[in-house]
Amino acid sequence: MSEKNLLGRRNFIKGFGAAAGVALAAPAMAVSEKADGVKWDKEVEVMIIGSGFAGLAAAIESVRQGAKDVHMFEKMSYFGGNSAINGGLYAAPGTPMQKTEGVKDSVDRMVADQVKAGRGVADEALLRHVAEHAVEGLQLTLDAGSEYHPYLQQLGGHSVARTYQTTVSCGAGITQPLYKECKRLGVKAHNRSKFEGFLVGKNGEIEGVKMRQNYHFGEDQPGEVLNIRAKRGVIMATGGFGQNVDLRMAQDPTLTAEVGCTNAPGATGEGMYEMFRLGAIPVHLAHIQSGPWASPDEGGFGYVSNYTIFNFPHSMAVHRLTGKRFMNEIADRKTRADAELSCRDEKGEAMPPLLITSYKHSKKHPNTKKVLKYDVGWKFDSVEALAKHFDVPLKPLKEQIAEYNSYVKSGDDKQFGKNMTKAKGKYIEAPFTVVRLWPKVHYCQGGVQINVKAEVKDSFTGKSIPKLYAAGEVTGGVHGVSRLGSCSIPECIVMGMTAARSVMKA
Amino acid sequence: MSEKNLLGRRNFIKGFGAAAGVALAAPAMAVSEKADGVKWDKEVEVMIIGSGFAGLAAAIESVRQGAKDVHMFEKMSYFGGNSAINGGLYAAPGTPMQKTEGVKDSVDRMVADQVKAGRGVADEALLRHVAEHAVEGLQLTLDAGSEYHPYLQQLGGHSVARTYQTTVSCGAGITQPLYKECKRLGVKAHNRSKFEGFLVGKNGEIEGVKMRQNYHFGEDQPGEVLNIRAKRGVIMATGGFGQNVDLRMAQDPTLTAEVGCTNAPGATGEGMYEMFRLGAIPVHLAHIQSGPWASPDEGGFGYVSNYTIFNFPHSMAVHRLTGKRFMNEIADRKTRADAELSCRDEKGEAMPPLLITSYKHSKKHPNTKKVLKYDVGWKFDSVEALAKHFDVPLKPLKEQIAEYNSYVKSGDDKQFGKNMTKAKGKYIEAPFTVVRLWPKVHYCQGGVQINVKAEVKDSFTGKSIPKLYAAGEVTGGVHGVSRLGSCSIPECIVMGMTAARSVMKA
């Protein structure tokens, strides 16, 4: 369990710093061109770029709205994008399961939770639009065949339990059914197809795009570029830029290549940058979210993330050097990530804190077996064994466990004000399961500004760029400073559907 | 003293919200064009766009580096931009006045203060470059004839006194001498000239720009557009976007038209947006700084701002409803602005706090007379009169004054850890001068990413855009989340000089 390579907080860039994680071959001049005189190689009705939650929902909804010729382009060899490897968590207010479990919730309440996490600068109109259509979006996934655990979760920053999770505890539990539904509906899905810029008409409208065929991600010899016309318009669902080290370091020099990232490798942001070249407004690029549920002992999202998301409500996080709690285990993501990053020794070296859970409660989550099997989590029969293994001071740790258990009993966390509802009766008792925590780059709150029609605004004219729509992580401002967990999938699904409705109305 | 129109924090935008403060007439498609086949109306050696600190310094340094034909373009009728109305405060480490006053300082110390205020995401390489050349930049202003008060100030967030201020307590004390020096050196300065986009060569290099002549800001019938070639390159010194309400609300929906702004009206950001259309990387646009030294009782920067900047070290800020202090009066700008914004009644209405100073100390600043004359500050002969006027509870206020004065005596602020060095012997005693405080939009930390050569990076290639340079508030990332006061002028002057050296070397 080496502490190496966790991160060098404030590992300063000199000049422009390190090269991008993925080299991007592109000319220096704006990539988009005027469509005037362009020879079109192909024509489609609705063009969708990206095949994650937003792209898939846009494709399905386009067909539902009457489109006959919908094309979805994906630069990677596989479909599903970064969505396919996310946690599969879907928050919605007023769901059937909330009724079953007796949870009182509303659009207002969900929006208020998100505005709070967004530190006052979230776009409330967009949050409300998504919350109002979240149940409808959930239904779209159910109709396509997605399956969810038969219980709700209350994730950090949410004031009530409102989160569904796929039975496979992964976004693929949504992207795969949606992809199948797309195929069933006749959507043409093209992989290895890389967006290379817009073709812009006389009035600034998006007439089509340049699309590289037979593209092999990260390789040097990509294929031919076709000019493809999009009769109704283009929906950009190209995702975030968490894997583009150079671009994320431009926003935060501490997010070096050594900092872990949960995203799929294709999350490199060139779709977003191309929209800026058109005149789209960059919003909140500086707000990059690190997931506080990640483990330094495995790559990417791994097994631990979903394990901890499930277990945080009835677990106790402690600082290794003190044996004491240091945060509300279900505070919003930014609050927790900042608290974890502050767990260091006197030299400033990272000391990943421990999440301690009673084995009898943790084992209810399917990932617990894998966490133990792959040595990214450990089981201890006594607090003494736990303390010895991690070199935690025993006496303070014992006292902390006793104190925490008193809050489980009283329902009142006097240390950090944690909502103890979901911890009821779940005392911290041997045997324990323990994982280590350290944040990883997870989500880009920033992107292009859109409105509730998924239209993209031009910075000069203040008007929407004709025939251009954007949905999902490529857009910015929706969540403000910090996105709440399980709020990305509803956003992607709802805004993808919204973009489809707009493109079919235009 | 109405509380009206102070601000509606969380005055949500619906859809895209209000129109821009200033209407921008421009086409929807990218404004920049390929230079191929362009008919050039004019050719210059070095082209500088903008005439604030950065533009003026770039012009002077270009001539010093051997340029024979330097042209500076300004869209407004007057030269100096927003710089002409700023506070005229210049921070530098290792100055002659620090030697005289016995202040120990260094580049490392100034950079460390700024990194702290920047919340860890400032570009340390740029901060260091500026700090290393800050004395040289100060000398450039002195050579041109700028005059400074014969004492140093210690501004909020600075760990030592290192700030010069012009004798006129205004940036015009620098822009006017620099402008005269430009004229003396033969720089051609053009007003009413509006930048309308780049003309881009075959390899992505900036060959020239489109420049509107006889432009009248805010009016409908602007003049002819010339294609002007820039042989060596273009230096963009076009400033921030604090006055563009629509664009600032895209980053922070609470910064509505009702929120005050200290900037000159021309600070609308179109130069920055045009660089994004070329492929420049947007950094930290979300970080918009509000000045905590402003008054709700006057427009813009007004008289109070410089009065409070001078007086904060030996003054006491109190909440009107409690009579108690609520912040360290010399914390960094963001810390103080956030603290002031939290001063509200139980309904959430703004309750601008009071800055209380002994008249015998405040009167040393030349603005004190004006503050009293124009009724944006008030003088009271007793604490009773003060409390009655503002309806502050008397007893708690008296206790707070006594407590604060005990910290003046001990040098140890037990309430907020304020550095009491500059408060030594300066007790809060009648008669008092009092002003009200409320933050105003002041500075955009965000802009285009540059390196220590003032080159602008392309988001796709990762390389600098040939023959393009940027300096001053139009650039982003230098200061991180929050800029320290008096650090903008050295940045503008040094990066303007740096851009000139780069353009003459290229």
A44-61 pLDDT, tens per residue? 999 999 999 999 999 999
Q: What is the pLDDT of residue A6?
A: 42
A501 in contact with B at a CB cutoff of 8 Å? no
* In chain A, residues 440-469 whose CB comes closer than 8 Å to chain B: 446, 449, 451-452, 457-463, 465-466
| ipTM of the complex, rounded to two decimals | 0.82
Q: What is the pLDDT of residue A27?
A: 38
Q: What is the pLDDT of residue A22?
A: 36
Q: What is the pLDDT of residue A162?
A: 98
CB atoms within 10 A of CB A167: 13
Contact A401, A428 (CB under 8 A): yes
A327 Cβ contact partners less than 8 Å away, ≥ 6 residues apart:
A317, A335, A336, A339, A340, A416
Question: Cα–Cα distances in Å, from A64 out to A69, A452, B146, B487?
Answer: 12, 20, 69, 57
Q: If DSSP codes are grouped into helix, strand and coil, which group holds residue A217?
A: coil
Both tokens of A469, joined, read 């729509």
Is the pLDDT confidence value at A141 over 50?
yes
Separation between Cα atoms, residue A446 and residue B175, nearest integer Å: 36
User: pLDDT tens digit string along B266-292?
Assistant: 999 999 999 999 999 999 999 999 999
Q: What is the pLDDT of residue B433?
A: 98
Q: If you count residue pairs, one on A and one on B, with CB atoms under 8 Å apart, how many are there?
A: 177
Q: What is the mean pLDDT of residues A273-301?
A: 93
pLDDT band at B11; cut points 50, 70, 90: very low
Separation between Cα atoms, residue B185 and residue A301, nearest integer Å: 61
Q: What is the mean pLDDT of residues B121-135?
A: 97
* In chain A, residues 343-362 whose CB comes closer than 8 Å to chain B: none
Both tokens of B416, joined, read 């907020």
Q: What is the mean pLDDT of residues B80-93?
A: 96
Separation between Cα atoms, residue B394 and residue B25, nearest integer Å: 55
Contact A461 B12 (CB under 8 A): no
Lowest mean pLDDT among A119-123, A217-221, B244-248: A217-221
Lowest mean pLDDT among B129-133, B260-264, B458-462: B458-462
Residue found by looking up tokens 């109109």 in the block: A125
Question: Cα–Cα distances in Å, from A84 out to A80, A178, A265, B22, B378?
Answer: 5, 11, 12, 44, 64
Helix and strand counts by DSSP (H, E) for chain A = 14, 19
Q: What is the mean pLDDT of residues B486-504?
A: 98
pLDDT band at A400; cut points 50, 70, 90: very high
User: pLDDT tens digit string along B146-185?
Assistant: 999 999 999 999 999 999 999 998 999 999 999 999 999 9
Separation between Cα atoms, residue B121 and residue B449, nearest integer Å: 13
Question: Cα–Cα distances in Å, from A9 out to A440, B126, B197?
Answer: 13, 18, 39
pLDDT band at B221; cut points 50, 70, 90: low
User: pLDDT tens digit string along A453-506?
Assistant: 999 999 888 899 999 999 999 999 999 999 999 999 999 999 999 999 999 998
Higher pLDDT, A348 or B475: B475
Summary mean pLDDT of chain A: 91
Q: What is the pLDDT of residue A256?
A: 86
B150 in contact with A at a CB cutoff of 8 Å? no
A29 in contact with B at a CB cutoff of 8 Å? yes
What is the distance, to the nearest Å, from the Cα of residue B370 to the centroid of all Cα atoms in its chain? 23
Residue in B10, B121, B452 nearest the CB of A253: B121
Separation between Cα atoms, residue A277 and residue B206, nearest integer Å: 16
> Residues of B with CB below 8 A from A451's CB?
15-16
- Tell me which residue of B196, B200, B194, B195 sits closest to B33, measured CA to CA: B200
User: pLDDT tens digit string along A72-118?
Assistant: 999 999 999 999 999 999 999 999 999 999 999 999 999 999 999 99
Q: Searching chain A, which residue's CA lies closest to the CA of residue B27?
A: A461
Residue in B10, B125, B200 nearest the CB of A15: B125
Q: What is the pLDDT of residue A18?
A: 34
Q: What is the pLDDT of residue A221?
A: 64
Q: How far does B292 lie from chain A, in Å, by closest CA?
A: 19
Classify the C-alpha dihedral A32-A34-A39-A44 as positive or negative: positive
Q: Searching chain B, which residue's CA lies closest to the CA of residue A29?
A: B204
Q: What is the pLDDT of residue B79?
A: 97
Contact B204 A29 (CB under 8 A): yes
The structural domains of chain B, ordered by start, are 27-290+442-506 (3.50.50.60), 293-438 (3.90.700.10)
User: pLDDT tens digit string along A147-189?
Assistant: 999 999 999 999 999 999 999 989 999 999 999 999 999 999 9
Q: Searching chain A, which residue's CA lies closest to the CA of residue B255?
A: A121
Is the pLDDT confidence value at A67 over 70?
yes
Summary mean pLDDT of chain B: 91
pLDDT band at A299; cut points 50, 70, 90: confident
Q: For an interface test with B, which of A281, A289, A468 has the most B Cβ atoms less than 10 Å from its Cβ? A: A281
pLDDT band at B37; cut points 50, 70, 90: confident
Q: What is the pLDDT of residue B1?
A: 36
